[in-house]
Structures are given as C-alpha cells and as structure tokens.
C-alpha cells in the first residue's frame, strides 16, 4: 500500500512538472530531481531540435560523449558533467528516469530506453533495467542493495549507462544516445 501511495504522489508531481515552461536548465532547480518519501524522479532535459552525435572518448572503459552536455543534461550546475552527475539513494528507494524535450513541438519525445549497470554490485539486483515501452518511455528501478562499506568507508558510487532515443517532429534522430550518471547508496 505504501508503494501505491508513493506512485500516486509521483504521478501528481509529474503532471504538475509537465505544465512548466521548457528550457534547458543550467543548474538544479526543484523540478529537475524530485524526491518524495523515497521516490526519486530524475529528469533528463533534451534539446530535441539540435541534438546530434558528438565525438566520443573512452573513459574508464566506457564510450562517452562529453559534447552531449550542450544538448542534454539533468539540470545540474554547469561545472558538473553528465558523467559526474550523482544521485544519492537508499535501499528501498524507487528511482524513475524520464526524459523531457525542451522544444515547443508536441511531436518531440525523449524515450529513456534502459539503464545498464557498468560494473561492481548492481544496486537494483539486475544489470539492465528496461523502459516501460510507453510514449514517452521511462525506466523505473527499486534499490535492493544497501551501501557497501570497507572499514567504515562508503565504497565508490556505481556507474550506469542511460540509453535514450529522441524523436523530433515525430522522426527519430541519430540512433541511441548514451549518458552515464552515477548512483550512490547512502545510509
């Protein structure tokens, strides 16, 4: 029953957020990462009109596209890259990733297709969380692992690869994009 109440509250918050004017945020605002009683809504803001594939580099064995920050971000401060963006969660928390187009077109959609664990202990009990196949597509996960400690020190945060697709005026743009934010379990 507690989970049902969380989901109802979350749906109300998402409805209110959808009515807000859209612009690519340059810093965290209250609507970019919402936490209500253990439910985290992580919003990826995307300029669906101008987004394009950017040059890639390999970082810690993962191919990333640092230039993507110009077209997509989580509303974090400008000195924090998408790869360094960190979400703090606790065991039992629900995490919902959603994408939002910042353009005015009703035909522009950001689908979060999957969240893929990139190594270490998966906080969600599985390596791949798939999208719900709705439009727009979102990914939901429940944190099943507590913080891992080593001599009373919290181990490094876990890396995840967020895969998303973009539709501009109803047409898919440039395949699948990847961003790899961090998740860290706290006590």
pLDDT in tens, 17-55: 443 444 444 444 444 556 677 899 999 999 998 887 665
Residues in the chain, overall count: 187
Q: How far apart are CA 52 and CA 147, in angstroms?
A: 37
DSSP-assigned beta bridge partners for residue 161: 116
pLDDT of residue 54: 62
Q: Which two tokens stand for residue 106?
A: 């009703």
CA angle 18, 22, 88 (to 5 degrees): 70
Tell me what the pLDDT averaged over the chain comes to.
77
CATH of the domain at 60: 2.60.40
More confident site: 156 or 81 = 81
Q: How far apart are CA 128 and CA 172, in angstroms?
A: 23
Q: How far apart are CA 106 and CA 117, in angstroms?
A: 32
Using one digit for the tens of pLDDT, what is the confidence trace for 92-131?
Answer: 999 999 999 998 778 899 999 999 998 667 889 899 999 9
**Among 89, 90, 72, CA closest to 81:** 72
What does pTM read for this prediction?
0.75
What domain range is 165 assigned to? 2-185
In this structure, of 12-26, 120-134, 154-168, 170-184, the range with the lowest mean pLDDT score is 12-26
Number of domains in the chain: 1
């Amino acid at each position: 029953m507690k989970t049902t109440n969380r989901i109802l509250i979350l749906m109300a918050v998402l409805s209110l957020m959808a009515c807000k004017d859209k612009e690519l945020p340059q810093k965290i605002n209250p609507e970019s990462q919402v936490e209500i009683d253990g439910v985290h809504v992580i919003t990826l803001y995307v300029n669906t009109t101008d987004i394009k594939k950017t040059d890639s580099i390999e970082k810690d064995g993962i191919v990333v596209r640092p230039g993507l920050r110009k077209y997509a971000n989580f509303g974090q401060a400008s000195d924090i890259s998408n790869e360094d963006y960190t979400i703090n969660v606790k065991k039992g928390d629900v995490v919902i990733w959603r994408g939002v187009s910042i353009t005015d077109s009703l035909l522009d959609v950001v689908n979060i297709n999957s969240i893929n664990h990139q190594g270490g202990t998966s906080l969600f009990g599985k390596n791949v969380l798939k999208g719900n196949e709705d439009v727009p597509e979102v990914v939901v996960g429940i944190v099943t692992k507590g913080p891992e400690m080593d001599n009373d020190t919290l181990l490094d945060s876990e890396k995840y690869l967020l895969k998303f697709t973009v539709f501009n005026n109803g047409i898919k743009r440039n395949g699948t994009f990847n961003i790899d934010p961090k998740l860290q379990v706290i006590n």
